[in-house]
């Protein structure tokens, strides 16, 4: 199975809040975590909101 990816333009109003929130989560997390084929629960709602901005 080949890896697939997609690039989209996000309006400036989006400001990629999900990326910022995930980075903040990484700063306070003291264990290594990985997610495969799922969205981290700490940013699920943000992702849904940002999808509406595209």
Q: Is residue 31 in a domain?
A: no
pLDDT at 10: 61
Give the predicted TM-score (pTM) of the model. Answer: 0.54
Q: Is residue 48 in a domain?
A: yes
Q: Is residue 49 in a domain?
A: yes
pLDDT in tens, 13-42: 556 788 888 888 888 888 888 888 888 888
Among residues 48, 31, 5, which one has the least CA distance to residue 17?
48
Number of domains making up the chain: 1
CA dihedral 45, 49, 51, 54 (to 10 degrees): -160
pLDDT at 34: 84
Please state the separation of Cα 41 from the chain's center in Å: 10
pLDDT at 54: 52
Q: At what angle do helices 44-53 and 17-28 cross, to 10 degrees?
A: 160
pLDDT at 2: 61
């Amino acid at each position: 199975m080949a890896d697939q990816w997609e690039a989209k333009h996000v309006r400036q109003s989006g400001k990629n809040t999900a990326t910022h929130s995930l980075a903040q989560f990484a700063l306070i997390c003291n264990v290594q975590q990985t997610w495969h084929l799922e969205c981290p629960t700490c940013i699920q709602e943000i992702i849904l909101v940002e999808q509406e901005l595209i």
